[in-house]
Amino acid sequence: MTKAQFRIIITTHSSLCNGYLDAAALILNSKCENVELLTFKENMSTEDFEKSLVEMIDVHPTQPLLILTDLVGGTPANIAIKYMKKAAIEIVSGINLPLLLEVLMKQEAGEQLKDIQFKEVIKNSQESIIYVNELLRGGTVND
């Protein structure tokens, strides 16, 4: 049993969330047991998606929950935002693999959701995006 103090739901368009979790599990050599996935599938109604999300939220309504979405303004993010005040829910939209890895490491270390400095986590994940061509031409990571 892990020391997780919070749950994570990754919700994306199509199966992107599956790829994120598979890659993170491989890199961290972890089963990522306190992470759930919800895909917004082609031809899925927003009502069905919302029903599925609410069911996932309600499984452990008192446990803090982090919802990670792929795209600000997309259906998964827009519907998740409707439930931010329902419980102790934090939402980060526009995830990438480095962000997910950092959050999972904090989760597995037993860190409390309320103690995570999301501005710092987001900054770190943004800085992981590097134009390699420029770097190899003698530029720096920050060019």
User: Judging by beta carbons within 10 Å of its beta carbon (0-12, 13-18, 19+), is residue 74 exposed, middle or buried?
Assistant: middle
- SS3 at position 128: coil
Domain hosting 102: range is: 7-136
Residue 83 lies in a domain: yes
Residue 62 lies in a domain: yes
Question: What residues in the chain have per-residue pLDDT under 70?
Answer: 1-3, 87, 142-143
CA atoms within a 13 Å half-sphere pointing along the CA-CB vector of 126: 10
According to DSSP, residue 95 is labeled -
Structural domain count, the chain? 1
37: domain CATH number is 3.40.50.510
Residue 65 lies in a domain: yes
Residue 143 lies in a domain: no
Residue 26 lies in a domain: yes
Residue 142 lies in a domain: no
CA–CA distance, 114 with 116 (Å, rounded to integer): 6
Adjacency order of strands within the sheet including 35-40: 35-40, 7-13, 65-69, 89-93
Residue 141 lies in a domain: no
